[in-house]
Amino acid sequence: SAIPKPRIAAIAAAIERIAGKAGYIVPSHDLDDPRFDAKRYWRGPVWLVVNYMIADGLAAAGYADVARHITQSSLDLIADSGFAEHYDPISGEPLG
């Protein structure tokens, strides 16, 4: 991988930390940051296409459990809210 192993580990850990706070992962911004906004393009929503890339990269880097968590959360979003471009990471509300 072109990404250093410590960085991959930090990304996986951050996603798991955020998963305890969000209804769905991976939000596009940290929920603890005061600039987080669940409905503002890159300040909070979950984007399925980005989730795919994150899960694929984490699986390839040996973080299959985190990748499966992201995949399941993405499938849950679709099952709960229908297919949309992006979603509120807390409520799952489709936003686009």
* pLDDT tens per residue across span 28-70: 999 999 999 999 999 999 999 999 999 999 999 999 999 999 9
* pLDDT tens per residue across span 60-89: 999 999 999 999 999 999 999 999 999 999
Burial of 37 (0-12, 13-18, 19+ CB in 10 A): middle
**What does the block give as tokens for 51?**
């989730």
Predicted model pTM: 0.93
Determine the average pLDDT of the residues in 5-13.
96
